[in-house]
A and B are shown apart, each in its own frame.
Chain A
């Protein structure tokens, strides 16, 4: 792997350095399929980069890490370019100082790969309306993470207000194995669901989202209950005419599925690392309508709760 540091630089110098490095490595043809812009602070940089480079194994991409530094310092752009064998594609860490912190898009725009999708990911704090954010505006897909917000449940409940097609949240991605298991259980004929409960550690943003999705699809009231965790620990759905469909997971790894008239079955349902969540996000770049429906339903539920 080659690391190349540029201090007090510009986008065009970064761009020509990238081209030069690629030629030096003898691989001028690029097979990269997208640009991933990660907006992150210095503390979250390492973990985010690791997840992004892991995801790049499945989706070779140019990764642009935008790290906002002290706005009070003089204007300055530092770049660290990494090209090499550890991951296909390229990584550029951009550190912005001074007034430039307000104009990150001017640095990003010239560095986007031509005519391929742009995905923006906020592993930490995200702007109020991601699609209106100068960098978010460049992306066709915007990945947020309610879990890293101070008030995670409030954050996910207010997503509907700022939703623009292309938005998505890792709190939703974390649910895919749960949703897949529940959907598989419903592949066998099942009576009408009259109500249910989603149990999770307090403050878990995925729990209300799962409840909203179930409520939306099953047309039944779904409640949220606190449990000892970790993460989501169970879903219980009451079937009309008696009986319950339950999925319970207490160790964050192995779940038990039980339904009336069937033996209990154990299913692997492990929590996934961020890199896998990100890979899933990058697999499909079209707007996620089901997510949109779920956050809308969640906002409605919250609205009713307050009234």
Chain B
């Protein structure tokens, strides 16, 4: 409720405070009526608190592009600080944000876990995580700023006392650090603990802030394991937090290259005219991993590749590639277009031929002998969980009718690679002899998501020589190979967006549910099919996946 009232509040402030209205007047003089109307509309449309305060801030100016978006004073409460994600990604990302000057003065970090730690112990853990995993150089002064705000609250999720202490601690931080009652709760814990934590936040009144402050909750995938569980999970969070305060992290959406899909499509004229069924033959979206399940046996078994990767990452990539142009890049407009695409996704009529799944067996991967999935520690020898999944989807709208979207993901494949390949139709007529173009394939535009982020264009070119011989060549664009080292990590971007309250890069609950709608029938079908087909570790997946494309007269890109 507070969130919805916010857009009007600052406007009133501007009217009441003579000083700020004077400034607004002056800024207005330089604008035409049309610009003013656009500005007003933009302000009305946005729900981000910071953007509104910006309008009343005399030192900010939309033309002043050097000034970064800095979060307002706030506390980040991290549940599950002992987890792998916190150590490898979240804590370093927080430091990196500080190093880039994007954290507000007084920013505080509170860790919550079942450990008998003092503040200093948690600071030490953070220090080690930062030293080892931060992307930006270590600077003593940044660490000093950060470490002054580091707190730790020991306790279990079921322990009322611990949460009372947490609530007290947060009030104290507000006083000593000036964080103004703005808290973001990051739930880096297994979903089974969500109800407990959220209930505790509600009980201690931490879920709802006083007027003029905000409370946000950040949750990580998996957002359920099917439609029903996703709705149940959402019921838990939405009973306590309004949808606008729930930030669902899909870290793929924080990646530079993924955001670049939008720039590539909507900032250029070159691609959009051919971005449709008239020119595109099919689309392949791949996320291949060379590693096995590692230490995630407990989570992975029973979940499988499709739920782990296709439901969120790959369907989000599909939505970004296939969507129509949004009216603007604000959260509402962007999500609306993504939802339209997800709603238009149709499953193959015959799931037996339109999907494939597999499970890795013992083999050699990258020069090392590795065990099969069923031999992994913690996996029962009759597990039917798939480690490879491929599906053929259709987007039933005017732009894409008849263009298949092939999605595949797998573990223990020959290499790590995530990409989106738009494969174009062959030229309708080739004025060359059949022999000249025998080895000419399809043109393709490939968006390489990771590693080696960039864009590849594949096209036919004459082989130098006296004969006319045409073959495929690749043209690469990488915005600086070493560029990515210093560019923000996905979690950095997303954490900053949470603290600022900028939601476009977070999937809405509707998107989550639509994705499960797509996946549920497939999972149901697979459940009735017994064991997945085995594929050798270090290969490119099961034979049935290749057969799936071969039936359509196509082949997977060899990565």
Indicate if B358 sits at the interface (CB-CB under 8 A): no
Q: Are A263 and B66 in contact (CB under 8 A)?
A: no
Q: Which of B73, B104, B105 has the most CB of A within 10 A?
A: B105
* Chain A residues numbered 10-31 whose CB sits less than 8 Å from any CB in chain B: 29, 31
Indicate if A192 sits at the interface (CB-CB under 8 A): yes
Cross-chain contact of A268 among B23, B98, B485 (Cβ < 8 A): B98
Q: Are B480 and A184 in contact (CB under 8 A)?
A: no
Contact with B along A30-65 (1 / 0, CB 8 A): 010100000000000000000000001111100000
Q: Are A192 and B105 in contact (CB under 8 A)?
A: no
**Distance of B513 from chain A, by nearest CB (Å):** 35
Q: Are B72 and A186 in contact (CB under 8 A)?
A: no
Q: Provided the pairs A60-B483, A191-B19, A267-B105 are in contact, do residues A218 and B58 lie with their beta carbons within 8 angstroms?
A: yes
Q: Within the assembled complex, what's the spacing in Å between the Cα atoms of A253 and B180?
A: 26
**Distance of B25 from chain A, by nearest CB (Å):** 11
> With a CB–CB cut-off of 8 A, which chain B residues contact A269?
101, 141
Q: Are B479 and A176 in contact (CB under 8 A)?
A: no
The residue on A at minimum CB distance from B478 is: A31
**Distance of B499 from chain A, by nearest CB (Å):** 12
> With a CB–CB cut-off of 8 A, which chain A residues contact B60?
183, 186-187
The residue on A at minimum CB distance from B49 is: A187
Q: Are B70 and A31 in contact (CB under 8 A)?
A: no
Q: Provided the pairs A33-B479, A188-B180, A263-B175 are in contact, do residues A180 and B145 lie with their beta carbons within 8 angstroms?
A: no
Indicate if A306 sits at the interface (CB-CB under 8 A): no
Q: Are B64 and A290 in contact (CB under 8 A)?
A: yes
Indicate if B368 sits at the interface (CB-CB under 8 A): no
Q: Are A88 and B13 in contact (CB under 8 A)?
A: no
Q: Within the assembled complex, what's the spacing in Å between the Cα atoms of A59 and B483?
A: 7
Q: Provided the pairs A57-B483, A254-B145 are in contact, do residues A188 and B73 lie with their beta carbons within 8 angstroms?
A: yes
The residue on B at minimum CB distance from A180 is: B67
Q: Are A179 and B13 in contact (CB under 8 A)?
A: no
Q: Are A254 and B485 in contact (CB under 8 A)?
A: no
Q: Are B480 and A31 in contact (CB under 8 A)?
A: yes
Interface residues on chain B, size class: 35 or more
Indicate if A280 sits at the interface (CB-CB under 8 A): yes
Q: Are A58 and B483 in contact (CB under 8 A)?
A: yes
Indicate if A133 sits at the interface (CB-CB under 8 A): no
> With a CB–CB cut-off of 8 A, which chain B residues contact A182?
59
Indicate if A266 sits at the interface (CB-CB under 8 A): yes
Q: Which of A87, A214, A257, A267 has the most CB of B within 10 A?
A: A267
Q: Are B72 and A265 in contact (CB under 8 A)?
A: no
> With a CB–CB cut-off of 8 A, which chain A residues contact B141?
253-254, 268-270
Q: Are A284 and B480 in contact (CB under 8 A)?
A: no
Q: Are B106 and A265 in contact (CB under 8 A)?
A: yes
* Chain B residues numbered 127-184 whose CB sits less than 8 Å from any CB in chain A: 139-142, 144-145, 148, 175-178, 180
> With a CB–CB cut-off of 8 A, which chain A residues contact B104?
184
Indicate if B269 sits at the interface (CB-CB under 8 A): no
Q: Are B53 and A187 in contact (CB under 8 A)?
A: yes
Q: Are B477 and A217 in contact (CB under 8 A)?
A: no
Indicate if B430 sits at the interface (CB-CB under 8 A): no
Q: Are B13 and A265 in contact (CB under 8 A)?
A: no
Q: Within the assembled complex, what's the spacing in Å between the Cα atoms of A286 and B479?
A: 19
* Chain A residues numbered 182-199 whose CB sits less than 8 Å from any CB in chain B: 182-189, 191-192
Q: Provided the pairs A29-B475, A254-B145, A268-B142 are in contact, do residues A188 and B72 lie with their beta carbons within 8 angstroms?
A: yes
Q: Are A254 and B144 in contact (CB under 8 A)?
A: yes
> With a CB–CB cut-off of 8 A, which chain B residues contact A253?
140-141
* Chain A residues numbered 227-272 whose CB sits less than 8 Å from any CB in chain B: 240, 253-254, 257, 262-263, 265-270
Q: Which of B57, B140, B175, B478 has the most CB of A within 10 A?
A: B57
Indicate if A288 sits at the interface (CB-CB under 8 A): yes
> With a CB–CB cut-off of 8 A, which chain A residues contact B101?
177, 180-181, 268-269
Q: Are A268 and B480 in contact (CB under 8 A)?
A: no
> With a CB–CB cut-off of 8 A, which chain B residues contact A173?
66
Q: Are B59 and A183 in contact (CB under 8 A)?
A: yes
The residue on B at minimum CB distance from A289 is: B63
Q: Are A263 and B50 in contact (CB under 8 A)?
A: no
Additional 15 contacts, C-beta under 8 A, given A31-B478, A176-B66: A31-B477, A57-B482, A180-B66, A180-B68, A218-B58, A240-B19, A257-B105, A262-B106, A265-B177, A266-B105, A268-B142, A269-B141, A270-B142, A284-B65, A290-B63
22 contacts between A and B (CB under 8 A): A29-B477, A31-B479, A60-B483, A177-B101, A183-B67, A188-B72, A188-B73, A188-B180, A192-B19, A218-B58, A219-B23, A253-B140, A254-B144, A262-B178, A265-B177, A266-B105, A267-B105, A268-B141, A268-B145, A269-B101, A270-B139, A284-B66
